[in-house]
Structure 1
Amino acid sequence: MLFVRLIEAVIAGVGGLPPVVSRPTDDLGTRSDTSRAIAFSDAVLAIIITLLVVDLRVPEVPPGRLLSGLLEQWPGYAAYLASYAYVAVVWLNHKGAFNRIRESDRGLHWVNLFVLFTTALLPFPTAVVSDALQEHDQQDQRVAVAFYALIGALLCVSWLTFFHYLSRRKDLLREGVSEGHFPAERVRALVGVILYVAAGLIGYLVAPLAGALVGIALRHHHRAAGGRTAVSPRRVRVTAVIRPKGDPR
């Protein structure tokens, strides 16, 4: 591909020869708008966020003990809220990223599928943490928190891959998107990997609660990823209106 582009550039630059038209079929089937990718991603994330509630069950208690049974399931509620917030942040960041993308290609579809794959794992560690906290076994709680942090780190790896791809494929982005946006988000994702690994180690080696609190605090780290401005200040154009002399306006 690079050799073909080089040949075209040489031919187009030769005096007296007309420029070579772009290849008519090279991108056929590989380039498209982002509507289908966004619709598919929204559907997958909606299913994931719905599956989180499946682990919340009616407690099996004798008559008259329903209230105490519901209260004893508080770890399940906490795990559900934490993972719901996580998926919500993923959706917001996904929306913010695709607002800056003009069209998709095959590589972008694959890295997007990687993000959805890792996000789809969240209901499983959520159920593991919920069960471990309700069983009150310290060793199981350490393993559960470390496992949840591992999935969080893997999710950050998928975002790292996603942002790295977009930082190298500026031709897919909308006009006016800051050149430093996706490289900066790539750094954010890398920091997330490191912090989740640290949270897992703290949860396993020090205290499960401490590791869980670090993981919850990381929601703020991810929350701002999709909210920063997409337009580079260098590309903002100010149009001056020139009025003829004597114009009362």
Structure 2
Amino acid sequence: MRSERLQAFTDGVVAVIITIMVLEMHAPHDVTFQALVALWPIFMSYVLSYVYVGIYWSNHHHFAHLIREVTGGILWANLGLLFFLSLIPFTTAWAGEHGFAPVPTALYGVSLLTTALAWNVLQVAIVHAQGKQSVMKQALGSDWKSKISPLLYLAGIVLAFVAPVVSYLLYALVAALWIIPDRRVERFLKEFERN
């Protein structure tokens, strides 16, 4: 299988995930600004989750260009990633509805952590499929962001029971680290596409 089919399937699932998230946002029943302002936790959780889903989609798009052939291992790792991504709408809705409540904040962090771990599994599957001269491994380099992100998520999960606001700040920090695609990967991708 070529990577285009993997990309097309992932694009479809990501579109559904974003649609589900936006459908979870309901207009206030009252017509006042106070009623609208009361929904800010829901809106902010949606924005953060939208950014996360966008980051995964963007990075997946970049990495798919580094894959010539899709193996069974890559397919299953990709399905694992999509499974954990598909849980984000649920945890987003629960966390948004309950503001800074500890358990929803922690569960939101768990969904972000498991998605990050699934992303790492996908990277490993691609590197394994490509062998010793893995293009993916060369493009990733030291990949410090993939190593530090799970630690920040774990800290956010633990802190959710003490200082939930700090948890959200850590979750936002991880998103900020990833929002701009790694320039090394982009440069390597240009070289790879020329060959």
User: Does structure 1 conserve the Cα–Cα contact (< 8 Å) formed by 2:126 and 2:136?
Assistant: no
8 A Cα contact 1:93 1:223, kept in partner:
no
Instruction: Choose from 146, 149, 165 the match for 2:106.
Output: 146
- Once residues 53 and 132 of structure 2 are traced to their aligned partners in structure 1, the CA distance between those partners, rounded to angstroms, is 25
Counterpart position of 2:44: 78
Q: Match of 1:105?
A: 71
Instruction: Give the CA deviation at 1:226.
Output: 5.0
Closer/same/farther in 2, CA of residues 57 and 166 from structure 1, 3 Å limit: same
- Distance in 2 between residues matched to 1:87 and 1:114, nearest whole Å: 15
Of 12, 26, 32, the residue aligned with 1:66 is 32
Q: Residue 63 of structure 2 contacts residue 136 of structure 2 at CA under 8 Å; is this kept in 1?
A: no
Structure 1 equivalent of residue 128 of structure 2: 168
SS in 2 for 1:58: coil
* One-letter code aligned to 1:167: V
What CA deviation, in whole Å up to 9, does each residue of 1:155-188 have, x standing for no partner?
Answer: 11101101111222225999xx364334634x53
2:168 maps to 212
Give the alignment partner of residue 117 of structure 2, picking from 147, 151, 157. Answer: 157
Tell whether 2:142 aligns with 1:184.
Answer: yes
* Aligned match for 1:94, one of 60, 85, 89: 60
Structure-2 change in CA distance of 1:104 and 1:157 (3 Å): same
Alpha-carbon shift at residue 225 of structure 1 (Å): 4.9
Residues 183 and 36 of structure 1: is their aligned pair in 2 closer, same or farther, counting only changes over 3 Å?
A: same
Would you say the 8 A contact 1:45–1:87 is kept in 2?
yes
Residues 95-137 of structure 1: CA distance to partner in whole angstroms, max 9, x if unpaired? 111111111111110001111111111101111111111xxxx
Q: Is the 8 A contact 1:153 1:193 kept in 2?
A: yes
Q: Report the CA distance between 1:193 and its aligned residue.
A: 1.5
- 5+ residue gaps, structure 2, are none
What secondary structure sits across from 2:161 in the alignment? helix
Over 3 Å counting, the alpha-carbon distance change for 1:226 and 1:95 in structure 2 is: farther
Of all paired residues, the percent bearing the same amino acid is 25
The AA in structure 2 aligned to 1:217 is: L
Number of matched pairs? 191
Q: Which moved more, 1:107-116 or 1:214-223?
A: 214-223
Q: TM-score, normalised by structure 1?
A: 0.69
Q: Which has the higher contact order (CA 8 A, sep 6+)?
A: 2
Q: For the structure 1 residues 128 and 161, does the alpha-carbon distance in structure 2 shift closer, same or farther, using more than 3 Å as the test?
A: same
Is the radius of gyration larger for structure 1 or structure 2? 1
From 145, 152, 161, the equivalent of 1:195 is 152
- The Cα RMSD (Å) is 2.6
* Cα distance in 2 for residues equivalent to 1:66 and 1:86: 31
Separation in structure 2 between the aligned mates of residue 43 and residue 71 of structure 1, nearest angstrom: 33
- 1:35 aligns with 4
Greater per-residue helix proportion: 2
TM (norm. structure 2) is: 0.87
Displacement after TM superposition at 1:191 (Å): 2.4
1:59 shift after superposition: 1.5
